[in-house]
Amino acid sequence: MRRLIVIAIPYLWLLALFLIPFVIVVKISLSDVALARPPYFPQWDWSAGWQGIRDFFAELDFENFIFLTSDDLYWKAYLSSAKIALISTFLTLLVGFPIAYGMARAPEHWRPTLMMLVILPFWTSFLIRVYSWMGILSQGGLLNSLLLSIGLISEPLTILNTDTAVYIGIVYTYLPFMILPVYAALEKLDGSLLEAAEDLGCSRLSAFWLVTVPLSRAGVVAGCFLVFIPAIGEFVIPSLLGGSETLMIGKVLYEEFFSNRDWPVASAVAVVLLLILVVPIVLFQRNQQKQAEAEA
């Protein structure tokens, strides 16, 4: 009984905070928009009995999903979000791997301090950090002022309200999610393997590519998934740092829910986004399972 209780707690948590809300969103995505409160129908009529249940399911349809395929705005938003998330994940890996490698090769008494510096940004509000980048990247911001003062540029650069600013914001925000799993994998690396590779004739660079990189693959894969999955549905960063031409599915969802007040279409967009994310989530879980089996 105790074992069942322990197992039931996380399942009840997922049921209450994921499955039930997801079922509600799916139901709304199959509904039709209405000038009412809530702004969709059909509604469940408890007083009508079984007839009300039959009428309820009979009025549900897939028109909103069909509408998504007929308007190129939505598939362009999905493709743009995937492109931005992929590029941001790659850039985050380029920046995060050397940092994680340096942390893993640092003396042990320095590693807790370096770890604290990595997670230090989480101590401040995410929104405040994004707003601070607006002040840094604007034409009269700190970055342009610095570049002008040292003579590298003759006029301010236009960085804010571009895709470049979005990439900077995503890389900065999700960098710890890349560093921590890569660092966890590199910290477990046996240094004698590198010595053996060098004794067998490998240079330091060859030993790094042939030993360090393959053995850190699990951490790299985990970090890429931890960055890509939330980045593809990001809303705050493209809204504040990106321009009007920066098209991401998070902004489309916001516009449908709050500006157009079309909850059924917005729910359909959210359902499709979740179905798209199921693929990397399943791959991530399989990778974690293989890693656990390899360690066992």
Condensed to tens digits (0 to 9), the pLDDT of residues 167-205 reads: 999 999 999 999 999 999 998 888 788 878 877 888 888
pLDDT at 37: 73
Q: Both tokens of residue 3?
A: 């074992």
So what's the pLDDT on residue 171? 95
- pLDDT value at position 213? 87
Higher pLDDT: 123 or 83? It is 83
Query: When comparing pLDDT for 232 and 279, which is higher?
Result: 232
Burial 60-84 (b: 16+ CB within 10 A, else e): eeebbbeebeeeeebeebbebbbeb
Report pLDDT for 114: 92
Residue 128 has pLDDT above 70, yes or no: yes
For residues 130, 133, 134, 137, the Cα torsion angle rounded to the nearest 10 degrees is -150
Note the residue count of the chain. 296
d(CA 49, CA 42): 15
Q: Backbone phi, then psi, for 244, in 5-degree steps?
A: -65, -25
3-state secondary structure of 151: coil
Contact between 280 and 232 under an 8 Å Cβ cutoff? The reply is no
Give pLDDT tens digits for 210-261: 888 888 888 998 899 899 999 999 999 999 998 878 889 999 999 898 888 8
What pTM value is reported for the model? 0.86
In DSSP notation, 62-91 reads SHHHHHHHH-HHHHHHHHHHHHHHHHHHHH
Residues 6+ apart with CB under 8 A from 215: 185, 189, 193
User: What was the pLDDT predicted at 215?
Assistant: 86
Q: Does residue 49 register a pLDDT over 80?
A: no
Q: Which of 132, 224, 130 is nearest to 177 (CA)?
A: 224
Give the separation between CA 149 and CA 152, rounded to whole angstroms: 8
Percentage of the chain beyond pLDDT 90 is: 38
pLDDT band at 296 (very low <50, low <70, confident <90, very high): low
The structure tokens 């790659």 sit at: 90
Q: What is the pLDDT of residue 285?
A: 78
- What domains appear along the chain, each with residue ranges and CATH number? 71-295 (1.10.3720.10)
Tokens describing residue 164: 């470049």
Mean of the per-residue pLDDT values for the chain?
88
Instruction: Dig out the tokens for 33 from the structure.
Output: 């928009």
